[in-house]
Structure 1
Amino acid sequence: MVEREVDGYAPTAVVDASVIPTVRAKLPEFTGALQRVAELVLADPASAARSTIVELAERSGTSPATVTRFCRALGFEGYADLRLGIAAETGRARAAGWSVDIGREIEPGDPLTKVLEQVMAADTRAMHDTAALLDLSEVERAAQAIAGASRVSIFGASGSALVGEEMQFSLHRIGVAAWAWTDVHNGLASAALSRPGDVALGISHSGQTRETIEMLAEAGSHGATTIALTSFPRSALAELADVVLLTATQATTFRPDALSARHPQLVVLDLLYVAVAQRTHQRSHAAFQRTAQAVDPHKAAKHGDPGANRHSLH
């Protein structure tokens, strides 16, 4: 294949590479119509492989010429080659057991073995996709900011709030002063006290949760470094953040997108937590020792005595 630059985008050799991760990697480089085509392909690769160039153009609100430019920016000669590449990749994913009829709704009478297969397939694919989508340089920036932060404020609502509380607990265990805020009033009050050297992390799958956007924006206006964890790079939350961490979801008929995002979010935050611990190794190690000693008397009894640590009832 002869590579040539197309409208400022250097083509990517994709003969031996996976198409979808390549599209994700180049997504930040695309703007306007090309970005809409890319996001549509990422949202439903199998559908893109079945669509004609005209259908894909109509669904993305672009034109066949734009779709052709998109294909060439990826290193393909045309849309037919892109379709073949996506079809081959989705076929490999099915053969590898990543997606076993994920889109089919689970029936009330389905056995738990099949339900487990469906859930595991969806979560596995979402986490693999997140790994391909994640920009590790952004994770590095976020880790450096948190490692040197005076305090970390974490904002989220509903399911994102639960994920935020997990991160707050993890950071607290390694000696990072972190608070998770779910109430918008308390969160805004905390954000208003932010200053340079602080970090604010906003978590929202859609990136459109108003309360989370307001709290992150308030913290940023006072000089805090802002981090967004979202599935949508063009969302309002991502647009206002200094650092953006992206997750992928595997949409299913049995679980809403927001719930599907939970496990990928936890994976990204686990990676971020470990990266922070690496950069504060001495402090983190000392914190682990102290916290372990503090809670050790309340753990299950050692040496086979199940009642040794129980409080007396008398």
Structure 2
Amino acid sequence: MGVSTQLSDVTPVLNRLRSMLPNLPDALARVAEQVLASPPEMTTLSLVDLADRARVAPATVTRFCRTVGYDDYRALRIAIAAETGRAEQARWELNLGREIRPDDPAHLVLQVIAGADSRTIQETAAQIDLDIAQRAAERIAGARRFDIFGVGGSWLSASEMQLRMERIGIPTWARCDVHSALTSAALLTPDDVVMAISHSGRTAEAVDVLTEARNQGATTIALTSFPRSPIADIADLVLTTTAGETTYRPEALSAKHSQLVVLDLVYILIAQRTVERTTEAFDTTVRAIKQHKIQSTRPGPAERRSSSGT
């Protein structure tokens, strides 16, 4: 059994390319970007045409194929054709796309949204670099303080992460004002961690905040859908997401679901590394807010079983 067959049995080729992209040499990365830009077109695109689009020599395309686990260009094309064919068949069977027409009924709109978000979450989970996620969790778990920065929709994801960190006793600040974020970044130390969230990876304020934090020696983390972007270029650790737009919801608005999946993963990995502190923090915070919960006057399942003698 050849290498290509073994690899294709383990990880879908397109997800593998997305995960490998940040670490590929520039010439091979350009080939990967062309492949990912239009996978269905790869079924008819010749090796020479792909080389021309990527501005590389044909031999570089062959080297790219071997680097990603395929013996030659033909094997790569077959794998991509099989994968895109399965995806198209699944979409056809579910009668789902990403388009929403003005006269579509509510139940169909819900199906399109749920289908698009489910695929985005699955694609994000398939391509995330778990080693990077674990390294990020290690640094955050041991940090003196943890700052998170985002603007627009990314600010909502940053706020969600702050709430999670507060519940397990990690000193965390989420900021959306660049002046406040830069002021904080200027006072950081090598014992601190900063995460900037930007779907495009090109938010100037996020780049500025990470740059200032890095100048002070803090660990910098980027969360973005574009691993080859300005924010990724300056970050120590890059966590990647995927996003698929639907009608009325461009990619930037659809990215939150995949961002939260990655942030939840990092949060759980941190909690695993701080079990005692996390458990104590949960117990303490539950007691603190218990008096603000309206108690139910109806017996719960356990009480009902007890009163009925079961």
TM-score, normalised by the number of residues in structure 1: 0.86
Aligned to 1:60: 54
> 1:254-269 maps to which residues of 2 (within 5 A)?
254-269=248-263
* Stretches of structure 2 lacking an aligned partner (at least 5 in a row): 300-310
Aligned to 2:200: 206
Q: How far apart, CA to CA, are the structure 1 residues paired with 2:95 and 2:31?
A: 25
- SS of the equivalent of 1:206 reads coil
Structure ranking higher in helix proportion = 2
**Superposition deviation, residue 44 in structure 1:** 3.3
> 1:222-261 maps to which residues of 2 (within 5 A)?
222-261=216-255
> 1:83-98 maps to which residues of 2 (within 5 A)?
83-96=77-90
Aligned 8 A contact 1:102 1:252 in 2: no
Fraction of identical pairs, as percent: 51
> 1:125-164 maps to which residues of 2 (within 5 A)?
125-164=119-158
Aligned 8 A contact 1:100 1:117 in 2: no
**Superposition deviation, residue 223 in structure 1:** 1.7
1:82 aligns with 2:76: yes
Amino acid at match of 2:62: T
Aligned 8 A contact 2:243 2:254 in 1: yes
When the two chains are superposed, the root-mean-square deviation of aligned CA atoms in Å is 2.5
Q: How far apart, CA to CA, are the structure 2 residues paired with 1:63 and 1:104?
A: 36
**Superposition deviation, residue 77 in structure 1:** 4.3
**Superposition deviation, residue 29 in structure 1:** 3.8
- SS of the equivalent of 1:161 reads helix
Q: How far apart, CA to CA, are the structure 2 residues paired with 1:232 and 1:21?
A: 14
Aligned to 2:9: 16
Amino acid at match of 2:258: P
Aligned 8 A contact 2:169 2:281 in 1: yes
**Residues paired across the two proteins, number:** 298
* Stretches of structure 1 lacking an aligned partner (at least 5 in a row): 4-10, 306-314
Residues 74, 150 of structure 1: alpha-carbon distance in 2 compared, 3 angstrom cutoff: closer
1:220 to 197, 214, 218: 214
Once the two structures are superposed, residues 109-131 of structure 1 have per-residue CA deviations (whole angstroms, 9 ceiling, x without a partner) of 11222222221222122222212
Residues 98, 133 of structure 1: alpha-carbon distance in 2 compared, 3 angstrom cutoff: farther
Amino acid at match of 1:226: T
Aligned 8 A contact 2:143 2:191 in 1: yes
1:72 to 61, 66, 76: 66
Residues 45, 101 of structure 1: alpha-carbon distance in 2 compared, 3 angstrom cutoff: farther
**Superposition deviation, residue 55 in structure 1:** 4.6
Greater shift in the superposed pair: 254-263 or 68-77: 68-77
**Superposition deviation, residue 82 in structure 1:** 2.3
**Superposition deviation, residue 272 in structure 1:** 0.4
Residues 13, 273 of structure 1: alpha-carbon distance in 2 compared, 3 angstrom cutoff: same
- SS of the equivalent of 2:173 reads strand
Aligned 8 A contact 1:98 1:125 in 2: no
Once the two structures are superposed, residues 69-121 of structure 1 have per-residue CA deviations (whole angstroms, 9 ceiling, x without a partner) of 32333343443332221121122234445995766521001122222222122
Q: How far apart, CA to CA, are the structure 1 residues paired with 2:156 and 2:92?
A: 27
Q: How far apart, CA to CA, are the structure 2 residues paired with 1:121 and 1:60?
A: 32
1:181 aligns with 2:175: yes
**Superposition deviation, residue 28 in structure 1:** 3.6
Aligned to 2:30: 36
